[in-house]
Structure 1
Amino acid sequence: MKRFKVFLAAVFFILNTYSITIAGDFSLTVVHVNDTHSHLEGDWLKLKIQSQTVSIPVGGFARLKTCLKAMRAKDPLLLFLHAGDNVQGTLYFTLFDGRLEYELLNSVNLDAMVFGNHEFDRGVKYLPGWIKRSRFPWLASNIDFSAEPAIAPLVKTYVIKEINGEKVGIIGLTTEKTPFMTLNVGQTVFLDPVETAQKYVSFLTSQGVNKIIALSHLGYYKDCELAARVPGIDIIVGGHSHSLLGDPAKLSPLGLVPQGPYPTEIQGPDGKKVLIVQAWQWAHVVGNLKVLFSPEGEIKDYQGRIVIPAGNALKENGRPVLSASYRYRELMNAILATGVVQPIKEDREILNRLSPYRQKIEKYKLKVVGKTYTPLERGPNEGLGHLVADAIREKIPGAQIALYNSGGVRRDLLAGKITAKDVAEVLPFGNTLVVMDLTGKEIKEALEEGINFLFRQRGKNPALLPYVSGIKVEIDISAPFGERVKSIYVEEKNGRYVSLDPDTSYRVVVNSFMAAGGDGFTHLRNSSGFRQDTGFSDLEAFMEYIKKRRLLQAPREKRILIIGMTLPHDDLPSALKRAA
């Protein structure tokens, strides 16, 4: 009897405590994406499963809509936010100028979006039309549009959402570096994001709002700085840096390396918790953060998870895996066991809406964009790969050096007409261009590391050497790791080549695969200096490069000079010194 009374007392205490919690606390669910970059259809995502390269279709707005529908069924009052850069990166934007991207955001019932720097990639003339087409607010807390009267009345500096009787304030912050990253910002003025955040947090607090979200297109590390400097922010929903956040124990079996935890908890200057989230890129991840607030607006508890919305098809080492096979079940079970990848059916309405545009894109691919009188083949000095490197370097103003992995260039170009389809087959992976500042020492170490990785994997084949622009490299294939790159010369503005200074910082552009450490370039992934995913695709850059010239010709100079083995047509190392 005594035990029964103790049990009843314990039950009463738990129920009483629970009722008080429910009565006074407020639960908020935030679902978010960022940097979708016109990836309206799904993409093949490469994973590393059991040491094998396994690809699975992920992302796309058709899966995003289905995923959101399931999440809203569990929480109809969730907030769905986009942290900027909805456009730029695929032929959907190149050909249709953004008309589809914002309509699709309407179809998934977006609650708010912040400007990304790529929203300015068509200048300011397209912005009024995009904003008017949108059924959600565009936030621009730190962008002064007062000198752009066609835009100024259409944007908001903040919004207040009322959810279950509670006010939630949302501000929008965009990188102040936007004028240096995009085509033309017109007469807009970008203000300091920290000072702006302090201003609007103080204002919202004065209006009785004690739950504040910063919708940010500043980048992950800048978000961490913001959280540490501005009191009163509860959640930062970020973008711009294309950061994958999550649990390494769940992501490493997929061959994915997170940049930080999801969510990342930072202590604000007032000692209170600030939660930072980001959802990688291209709708490959949908972030879901549930936060429990006290009546005073402080974070009491939270749960966060990321979802990779995926299809059911699989490829292993580039070859389809039959769904009825044992290997398919083995691979799919390993993928689903992580709890991160979820099979999501594509919404038929979205697919139907995209269908006529897809047909136009396929027709466009048959369009002739240039020609070449001689075949352009792949190889350490055969031309095509180095032309790709030239193209991505030309795309980024101020870039001094470009590096491109040899495996990213997938076919040669035959003599004759070059179609858009040909170019798409040369660069099929949808990589974006990443700008970073590296010292001469870091560039040499990255080359040593990448070359060593490829040689260990596939033998000492000079065809594996990366393509370069703005530099010439002398490589001794027979030398041990760390001693293969004998010399590097960098091109000056006058066209002369001088020795690369190990202590000087250089502006380098690479593709996103290399920037993430692909093909063994972990020095690029781990570099601590400036880095920025521009959102521009390598395909777009190469297409523009060809169209500008019409006639494509291989570079005349030898950029990779190889010693340690005899190769036909290779210049002697002294030729490089004479060119310098």
Structure 2
Amino acid sequence: MRLRKMMFLWALPLAAVCFCQPLCAEKLAVYHTSDIHGYYFSRADKSGQPHGGFAVLENVLLQEKEPFVILDSGDFSSGNKEANASDGRYSVELMNAAGKTPKNLSGQGYAALTIGNHDSDFGAETLGQMLGGFNGDVLSVNVEGLQIPGKQIQPYKIFNWNGKKVAVIGFSMDGPGMSGMELKKLSAADWEKLLQELQAAQPDAVLLLAHDSIADPRKPSQLMDVLTAAPSAADTIDVFLGGHAHLQHAQHKMGDNGPLFVESGSMLEGVSRVELDFDDETGQLTGVTSSYIALNPAKWGENKAVKEKLDQIEDKSLTRVFASVPVTLYKYPQGPDAAPDVAKMLADYMKKWLEPQEKVDFALFQLPGIRRDLNPGNLTGRDLAELLPYTEYVSTFNITGKKFKQAVEDSLKCNPDGKNYSMFAYSDNVYIEYKCKPGNKKHPVKVTKLLLNGKKMSGRKTYRAAAIGHIPDGYFEGAPFKITKNPQKKIYKKTSGELLFDIVEQLPGQTPAEKQFKAPQDLRIKQVK
């Protein structure tokens, strides 16, 4: 269970972190995915070449020479049209069928998963029914009250894999459909008690399967602080298999001999292969290797049987071309404007759409609602569905000028490399100037100018704003905008996805080639010295 005298190596495109003592003989491969979000199919990358998908993953698994298992860190069930339409059932079916080879120690399919924040998008009851169809184990140390037909959530399980006792702990993240279940907040003392319990069982290796990221400052870890404070964590946990931030990542944390933290990207563009090496005489874990494998059909091909299944479930209507994208539209801002490009368009149109129904002073749209970059080329129905996959309704609410200014400051992120960004874009009648204050931990950003329709906003005045419904409730990135006093919130039966389709349909031009989907060029959130 312990690792000693570790060496570190990182290489691309097959990124690897290796550390091993001379006696490494018995091996166990752990394949890890996270944040699949219903991306079942191969699709074009920025160069126009196909990549990703379950059919390519299957061929990778079939070539594996060592005994292996497959684990997932959550957010597997929602986020694309087919996944959403089936309430996640297709995700479970594909995961159950993965790795159809005698080398798969589960016989067939994923061995275990944990629950991500978007897996509850369909509600607790639907999630429970969906997980009842999953052939593997559902692991979560912090979920309580979720009813799953035919099985129970376990905080951890000690598996006997290829003669080795491997403990896997699950850790879940809160999500919008969590009513009907509860997520416990675990202290360092709670973790220490759990780890001591595991140590008493003397497993050969301990894996933490978590919907949590330690690699992205934009999405701070919910686990790192408490694990660091738990005395046994660094010596007990061998591998942290994380997710949520959509990153490819492998590095040590909590000291040179601490766990290897691995994150496996998102949208099934690739898979991590973590190899556990055990001494053939003592059985002790002596090394771990983590490799990221890009799911490239040109290299691996697509499995015929899985491809046939995918062809059956694919929504063919999404192949329709609506417009063209002349240049890449990035999720995160790339230039001097801290406002995200696509979010600008959505904020503008949200305000315009509301005008016949209600007087709104301004609108805002959140960066995390934009799920990915848009590459140059044809803009298809699938692109639009993937860009804004969740059913999120437009809302209006009251907010004072003082509260709005504070929320704008709290939503601006200043980075040492100068790539600053705002968690929100605001409609084109809002103009903001700000300063970064890197030495001020409490107030790292100061808004120096805040204009509405060219005039200074009053801190005392109450304004009518528009945003997606969870923003004034303070959920996730909406925390700075949480309105606790008299918000007079109103929900409209208009989703963000419908706003996006309206924008595209109203683009000038008669043909998809003539309809160009491109970002507004005005500067809305400017850094000043």
TM range (shorter): 0.5 to 0.7
The answer (yes or no) to whether the contact 2:132–2:149 under 8 Å persists in 1 is no
Distance in 2 separating the partners of 1:507 and 1:128? 23
Q: TM-score, normalised by structure 2?
A: 0.59
Question: How far is the alpha carbon of 1:275 from its aligned partner?
Answer: 1.1
Q: How many residues align?
A: 383
Alignment-derived partner of residue 311 in structure 1:
297
1:55 and 2:48 aligned: yes
Distance in 2 separating the partners of 1:445 and 1:140? 34
SS at structure 2 position matched to 1:21:
coil
What is the aligned-residue identity percentage?
Answer: 18
1:356 and 2:354 aligned: no
Question: How far is the alpha carbon of 1:291 from its aligned partner?
Answer: 2.8
The answer (yes or no) to whether the contact 2:111–2:137 under 8 Å persists in 1 is yes
SS at structure 2 position matched to 1:117:
coil
1:142-291 counterparts in 2 under 5 A? 142-145=142-145, 148-150=146-148, 153-175=151-173, 178=174, 181-192=175-186, 194-221=188-215, 222=221, 224-225=224-225, 228-230=228-230, 231=232, 232-245=236-249, 262=250, 264-267=251-254, 272-291=257-276
- Structure with the larger RCO, 1 or 2 (CA within 8 Å, 6+ apart): 2
Distance in 1 separating the partners of 2:365 and 2:521? 17
SS at structure 2 position matched to 1:85:
coil
Cα gap change, 1:95 to 1:19, in 2 (>3 Å)? closer
The answer (yes or no) to whether the contact 1:34–1:240 under 8 Å persists in 2 is yes
Alignment-derived partner of residue 89 in structure 2:
99
For structure 2, the residue ranges without an aligned partner over 5 or more in a row are: 1-19, 99-108, 216-220, 323-336, 354-362, 391-406, 434-446, 466-473, 481-493, 509-518, 525-529
Distance in 1 separating the partners of 2:296 and 2:507? 41
1:347-496 counterparts in 2 under 5 A? 347-358=303-314, 361-363=315-317, 386-389=344-347, 402=366, 408=374, 424=381, 427=384, 430=387, 439=409, 442=412, 468-469=426-427, 472-473=430-431, 488-489=450-451, 494-495=462-463
Q: Deviations over 1:147-195 (max 9, x none)?
A: x4556943222211112322111110113xx1xx413431323332755
Distance in 1 separating the partners of 2:186 and 2:497? 36
* Structure with greater helix share of residues: 1
Question: How far is the alpha carbon of 1:362 from its aligned partner?
Answer: 2.6
Q: TM-score, normalised by structure 1?
A: 0.54
Question: How far is the alpha carbon of 1:134 from its aligned partner?
Answer: 1.1
Cα gap change, 1:140 to 1:354, in 2 (>3 Å)? same
Question: How far is the alpha carbon of 1:347 from its aligned partner?
Answer: 1.0
The answer (yes or no) to whether the contact 2:28–2:275 under 8 Å persists in 1 is yes
1:189 aligned partner, one-letter code? L
The answer (yes or no) to whether the contact 1:218–1:240 under 8 Å persists in 2 is yes
1:325-364 counterparts in 2 under 5 A? 343-358=299-314, 361-363=315-317
Distance in 1 separating the partners of 2:83 and 2:349? 19
Cα gap change, 1:127 to 1:424, in 2 (>3 Å)? same
Alignment-derived partner of residue 77 in structure 2:
87
Q: Deviations over 1:473-532 (max 9, x none)?
A: 389xxxxxxxxx9954378994369xxxxxxxx99979xxxxxxxxxxxxxxxxxx9xxx
2:273 aligned partner, one-letter code? N
Question: How far is the alpha carbon of 1:211 from its aligned partner?
Answer: 1.5
Alignment-derived partner of residue 518 in structure 1:
none
Cα gap change, 1:241 to 1:21, in 2 (>3 Å)? same
Question: How far is the alpha carbon of 1:31 from its aligned partner?
Answer: 1.4
The answer (yes or no) to whether the contact 1:63–1:345 under 8 Å persists in 2 is yes
1:39 and 2:30 aligned: no
The answer (yes or no) to whether the contact 1:474–1:560 under 8 Å persists in 2 is no
SS at structure 1 position matched to 2:308:
helix
Q: Give the alignment partner of residue 302 of structure 1, picking from 288, 293, 296.
A: 288
Question: How far is the alpha carbon of 1:467 from its aligned partner?
Answer: 6.8
Distance in 2 separating the partners of 1:27 and 1:157? 26
Distance in 1 separating the partners of 2:78 and 2:31? 22
Distance in 2 separating the partners of 1:210 and 1:444? 43
SS at structure 2 position matched to 1:208:
coil
Cα gap change, 1:392 to 1:78, in 2 (>3 Å)? farther
Larger Cα-atom Rg: 1
2:73 aligned partner, one-letter code? A
Distance in 1 separating the partners of 2:414 and 2:128? 46
The answer (yes or no) to whether the contact 2:79–2:386 under 8 Å persists in 1 is no
Distance in 2 separating the partners of 1:19 and 1:244? 26
